[in-house]
Structure 1
Amino acid sequence: MALRFHKMHGLGNDFVVIDAREGAVAMDAARARALADRRTGVGCDQLILIGPADDADVSMRIFNADGSEVSACGNATRCVPVLVGRDVTVRTAAGLLHARLEEGGAAVDMGPPRFGWDEVPLAYPMDTAALPLAWGELARPAAASMGNPHLAFFVPDHMAVPLEALGPEIEHDAAFPERINVNVATILSRTHVAMRTWERGAGLTQACGTGACATFASGRRLRLLDERVRMDLPGGTLTLSEQDGRILMQGPATHVFTGETEL
């Protein structure tokens, strides 16, 4: 059976997007993992399944490259209005998101950050503003959820951190029952941050939308950042702002090509 798909990306965080609004497409961990394989499949960081929704314009399911299903993906959410061609409300497992089409990309209301230890979630109560934990040179991160669990380490030089080595160790630490995404960020000014991310189930990526939002939210909570910032990621730049306790994200989203593959 031939499967039609769209290859898209947000700042180099790349997706295989399947539009299943007209007809259901069966998806599970094994199939998602096969499609995401960069050697024997199409290749992507995440597989995105767009479908109908009772209470929104579309629904979105998200599978990491390792086949694990997750609740949110900021960069993929920006791709949805680009694919559909208009502003949309998107039903995700993390809640309802509003995405507005803009020239070259989209703006998304990502909702309020969650800082409760059981909301992230953590395995036991800890101060999520500065977890009493350390891995090598990385210590006392802030923790937050933007639909996905994130740690934010504010460091002098985010490029000097051996994230390839520390990322997997932190991701699978027993303190994080749903695993964890790891962000290392350098605050260049109160309105400018540079960041890299190790994504659970995908590894190093060019950009992480929910990671950028969680890091910004944690920086705001710690009074390190103003209410609007430029966030530089390896794949490009996002603009993040806080309005009435909600995190707004603006940035590029690109449709690369449409293809077919055999399921």
Structure 2
Amino acid sequence: MTLQFTKGHGTGNDFILYADPAGENPLDAAQVRALCDRHMGIGADGVIRTVRSQALPDGKAALDEDAGAEWFMDYVNADGTTAEMCGNGIRVYVRYLIENGLITLESGDTVAIGTRAGVRDVQRSGTGFQVDLGRWTLEEGEPLVRVKELKVARPGQGIDVGNPHIVVALADVDELADADLTYVPQVDPAPQDGANIELVVPHDPLVTDGIGRITMRVHERGVGETLSCGTGVAASALATRHWAGASAPNNWHVDVPGGTLGVRMFAAEDGEHVGLSGPAVLVYTGTIDLA
């Protein structure tokens, strides 16, 4: 099988995308690992299959939630494991749909996309895309997180934004730079399904002109350290707002190694939602022989 693919990224969080509208050509875990290998493959943090929702069981659940969710983002991590959602990936996915003529989306228009975390609405803007990540959950407890090269374990705050995160506050940027995220952080107690681990340092001052600002690094479950993680950015802003108290703002800028993303918390009929905004770039297209 020859795979025609596109390489894309959102603030350095990179993906291999391919079209399979009828759901006839899924990749197995070994193929995903081979494609994502940065030395012997294309290299990416994950693979996104473009498939119509009606062609997948998870997609049919999305259609039950929203009949307008024609397209499903079938996202698989670099290690071949499936993931519920990807905040950077869904923006790149919508860019891919547009550029390949699968949807038409003008600036200000919104499209519903099926994911394993439910349907997510993505709006096109002048500088990129904004995605409504939906309701979020503040988890109970303070799991201890041990990160290589940090001398002591730190308490973390669990946040669920459709996929699981544990956010850890550090003292300064030097500590953030010292952390070695090539090793998997150890969490006690260990989350049943794993979690993405975010290390966060607040800016000084934390808030300028009504916008909060933090710097973040992330170890993604099933991938390793990535230059960015969209849902992790949202989780980090939510955790920092929680720690800062009632006077903290609902709008945040989060700096990651790959750039800067925007986060906004807002009221909805079913509770508070969190939104993510940022760029989505398609880099190149090509073909590869899967054999």
TM-score, with structure 1 as normaliser: 0.88
- The CA deviation at 1:146 is 1.3
Aligned with 1:228 (options 244, 251, 256): 251
Would the alpha carbon gap of residues 261 and 221 (structure 1) be closer, same or farther in structure 2, given more than 3 Å must change?
same
1:187 is aligned to 202
Contact map agreement 1:57 1:88 (CA 8 A) in 2: no
Q: Counterpart amino acid of 2:186?
A: I
Q: Secondary structure at the match of 2:32?
A: helix
Aligned with 1:176 (options 166, 191, 194): 191
- The CA deviation at 1:166 is 8.0
Would the alpha carbon gap of residues 168 and 57 (structure 1) be closer, same or farther in structure 2, given more than 3 Å must change?
same
- Supply the distance in 2 between the matched residues of 1:192 and 1:255 (Cα, whole angstroms): 27
Max radius of gyration: which structure?
2
- Supply the distance in 2 between the matched residues of 1:133 and 1:175 (Cα, whole angstroms): 9
- Supply the distance in 2 between the matched residues of 1:23 and 1:199 (Cα, whole angstroms): 27
Q: Counterpart amino acid of 1:223?
A: A
Q: Which runs of 5+ in 2 are unaligned?
A: 55-62, 64-68, 99-104
Aligned with 1:110 (options 120, 133, 140): 133
2:31 is aligned to 31
- The CA deviation at 1:160 is 2.2
1:120 is aligned to none
Q: Confirm or deny that 1:249 pairs with 2:249.
A: no
Aligned with 1:76 (options 86, 89, 94): 89
Q: Confirm or deny that 1:17 pairs with 2:17.
A: yes
Aligned with 2:219 (options 188, 195, 198): 198
Q: Confirm or deny that 1:143 pairs with 2:158.
A: yes
Q: Counterpart amino acid of 1:36?
A: C
1:4 is aligned to 4
- Supply the distance in 1 between the matched residues of 2:250 and 2:35 (Cα, whole angstroms): 39
- The CA deviation at 1:182 is 0.8
Q: CA RMSD in A?
A: 1.9
Would the alpha carbon gap of residues 82 and 139 (structure 1) be closer, same or farther in structure 2, given more than 3 Å must change?
same
1:210 is aligned to 231
Q: Counterpart amino acid of 1:206?
A: L
- Supply the distance in 2 between the matched residues of 1:227 and 1:60 (Cα, whole angstroms): 28
Would the alpha carbon gap of residues 22 and 80 (structure 1) be closer, same or farther in structure 2, given more than 3 Å must change?
same
- The CA deviation at 1:93 is 0.6
- The CA deviation at 1:138 is 3.9
Q: Counterpart amino acid of 2:263?
A: L
What count of residue pairs does the alignment treat as equivalent? 250
1:155 is aligned to 170
Q: Confirm or deny that 1:262 pairs with 2:285.
A: no
Aligned with 1:66 (options 48, 66, 79): 79
TM-score, with structure 2 as normaliser: 0.80
Would the alpha carbon gap of residues 166 and 2 (structure 1) be closer, same or farther in structure 2, given more than 3 Å must change?
closer
Identity of aligned residues (%): 31
- The CA deviation at 1:14 is 0.5
Q: Which runs of 5+ in 1 are unaligned?
A: 117-125
